[in-house]
Chain A
Amino acid sequence: SQTIHQWPATLVQPVGSPLSLECTVEGTSNPNLYWYRQAAGRGLQLLFYSVGIGQISSEVPQNLSASRPQDRQFILSSKKLLLSDSGFYLCAWRGQPSSEAFFGQGTRLTVV
């Protein structure tokens, strides 16, 4: 069966520090991969999605970047975190264009 792993679960980082969040999917090949951010009590904001290795689409210009070095690995990065980068970051995958999304457990990032 397919599983999605996302880590770490929580992270506290100082302003100006770098960020790297990793997401891996098992049990499927060539998934569509997504990074979302969710502010407290708010909806899902799509940050990046990828339909294949090295293919990244950015939905919102910001302080973050994403990479997909392997088929089932999706990484969210920042060179210098801002206070406004705090939030709940969720990785997700979809197998087919019409299929549902499966989410990782999420990373709760607090920038201090």
Chain B
Amino acid sequence: GQQVMQIPQYQHVQEGEDFTTYCNSSTTLSNIQWYKQRPGGHPVFLIQLVKSGEVKKQKRLTFQFGEAKKNSSLHITATQTTDVGTYFCAGPDSNYQLIWGAGTKLIIKP
């Protein structure tokens, strides 16, 4: 079946360093969504990308959707402690049900 692979599983960074997580789908996606889950919390929607090659920015966060609409990335510039959490990507299957990546946990080194 359709799969969405997300890497890395964890990323440890010093505060102020950059962070990137990548998603790859086994099939072309109509859109891709990104969510953030703070420790102990629930996933919260961040953004949706729809167009091939689309790039969107939210302050220090940059989201990209690949030209083939099969991959996507989230890049955070100069991480802060408030960025800590797990970032998930998700894309709809042929029945419009979301297929989720496994998530990338951002950990700030003390």
Contacts and interface: CB of A to CB of B under 8 A. Distances in A.
Contact of B43 (A42, A97, A98, A103): A103
B42 A98 contact: no
Contact of A43 (B33, B44, B101): B101
A94 B30 CA distance: 16
B65 interface: no
Interface stretch (B12-20, B55-63, B77-85, B88-96): B88-96
Interface residues of B, number: 21
Interface in A52-72: none
Interface string A82-105: 000000001000100110111111
Nearest to B44: A103
A31 interface: no
Q: How large is the interface on A (under 10, 10 to 19, 20 to 34, 35 or more residues)?
A: 10 to 19
Contacts of A27: none
Contacts of A98: 30-31, 92, 96
A100 B44 CA distance: 10
A80 B33 CA distance: 36
B30 A43 contact: no
Interface of A: 41-44, 46, 49, 90, 94, 97-98, 100-106
| Nearest 8 pairs of A and B residues by beta carbon | A97-B96, A43-B102, A103-B42, A100-B45, A44-B100, A43-B103, A106-B42, A103-B43
